[in-house]
Structure 1
Amino acid sequence: MIDMILDYLGNSSAIAILVLVLLSAYLVVVFWIFIYRLLSLNSLIVNEKKSLESLTSRNTSINPLSSLYKCSNGSSSKHILKACEISIIKDASFGISWLSIISSTAPFVGLFGTVVGILESFAKFSNHSKVGFSIIAPAISEALVATAAGIFVAIFAYTFHQILVRKVYELNTYIKAQAEILIAKG
């Protein structure tokens, strides 16, 4: 397996290697953003859920660990709570748009690598008078590795983006519910 990868990289052009390096960097960024944001969102959601449970039970105070409490300083003003809501969601969704950008650009980066690889393959065969399918097929299949890598990265980026957007929505729901209760209680 390693011999095959080294052979592929040894026969690849600088553009193909650059494309694969870029897609590898994309993949690292995708996983880093996902893990970091998932852990922080889960922590925020747990705190907001506890705070909402505290508000809906006999206890009438908001949990001091709540982001809404920290932002509003205990105020129940509708305008302050709305501003805090917006600020919390903005901070919670930081970095998630990068997953969307990567999921939409990674296939094109891979496709660019494939096109360059196919063009280079045809350039190599231009000096030959007869070229059969058995000679062209391996060159084309090597070029398609870049497209496969781009799609691979895009799948993870898109999936992680959707998971995190759902987590932000869940957090937003808890914050809105708390704000409504606080406004109602005055």
Structure 2
Amino acid sequence: MQAFIHQMHPVSLGAISLLLIYFIAITWVFFYRYLLLHSWIKRESDSLQALLTGEKSVSVFSYLYNFLRTNSVSAQLLSLSEISATKESTRMLAFVSLVASTSPFIGLFGTVVSLLDTFARMAENSTGTMGVVTMGVSDALVATAVGIFVATFAYTFHQILKRNAYELVELIRMQSQALLTKKASSDAVG
């Protein structure tokens, strides 16, 4: 393994190093955001369930609670809370998406530079044997493989987090609609 690393072009090693940093970063972001969103979804789901079973307002643990302290429920205020929740729940998604889209290109860049280096060494030594070519190509393709590996995980993480953010915002939207319905029926009675 050590000999393999010493034979690689420094740019390819740099590309692989950057991709490994990317992978560590997106893995950390994924688990942090996933756990955060999962607990948030649970709180909002419990709040919605309580609201639908007769509670007059949302739970104190609900995201909407901070928006409803004024005792004035309005569609505009609830819409603002949905926008705020969307912004908060999709935090770091752009970074994960950026990693998913740039990782293959970083790997490809390392591959191209490594292939160019292989061809330059072949031209200098005038040895174009198949062994030299295949060794250079196999070294070069490692960077592409790492780029695709990182991009696959980044894309998967992005889709999971995006789906959780969507589910969360929908729970908040349902609570908003339930509150507006309760307000309309209490206004009609009172």
The TM-score with structure 1 as length reference comes to 0.94
Q: CA deviation at 1:131?
A: 1.4
For residues 160 and 128 of structure 1, what CA distance do their matches in structure 2 show? 46
Task: Look up the equivalent residue of 1:31 and give its one-letter code.
Answer: T
Is 2:20 the partner of 1:30?
Answer: no
User: What is the percent sequence identity of the aligned residues?
Assistant: 40
Once the two structures are overlaid, the 10-residue window that deviates more, 108-117 or 176-185, is 176-185
Task: Look up the equivalent residue of 1:67 and give its one-letter code.
Answer: Y
Is 2:103 the partner of 1:106?
Answer: yes
For residues 88 and 68 of structure 2, what CA distance do their matches in structure 1 show? 15
Q: 1:58 pairs with 28, 49, 54, which one?
A: 54
Secondary structure, in 3 states, of the residue corresponding to 1:43? helix
| RMSD, aligned CA | 1.2
Task: Look up the equivalent residue of 1:8 and give its one-letter code.
Answer: F
For residues 132 and 9 of structure 1, what CA distance do their matches in structure 2 show? 22
Q: CA deviation at 1:134?
A: 2.1
Q: Deviations over 1:66-97 (max 9, x none)?
A: 00112332542111111011001101110011
1:107–1:150 Cα contact (<8 Å) kept: yes
Structure 1 gap ranges (5+): none
For residues 43 and 13 of structure 1, what CA distance do their matches in structure 2 show? 45
Q: CA deviation at 1:130?
A: 4.4
What residue number does 2:125 align with?
A: 128
Secondary structure, in 3 states, of the residue corresponding to 2:157? helix
Is 2:28 the partner of 1:18?
Answer: no
Q: 2:66 pairs with 70, 73, 76, which one?
A: 70
Once the two structures are overlaid, the 10-residue window that deviates more, 157-166 or 74-83, is 74-83
Is 2:45 the partner of 1:49?
Answer: yes
What residue number does 2:145 align with?
A: 148
- Aligned length in residues: 182
What residue number does 1:80 align with?
A: 77
Structure 2 gap ranges (5+): 184-190
1:52–1:178 Cα contact (<8 Å) kept: yes
Moved over 6 A (4+): none
For residues 97 and 63 of structure 2, what CA distance do their matches in structure 1 show? 26
What residue number does 2:180 align with?
A: 183
For residues 117 and 75 of structure 1, what CA distance do their matches in structure 2 show? 65
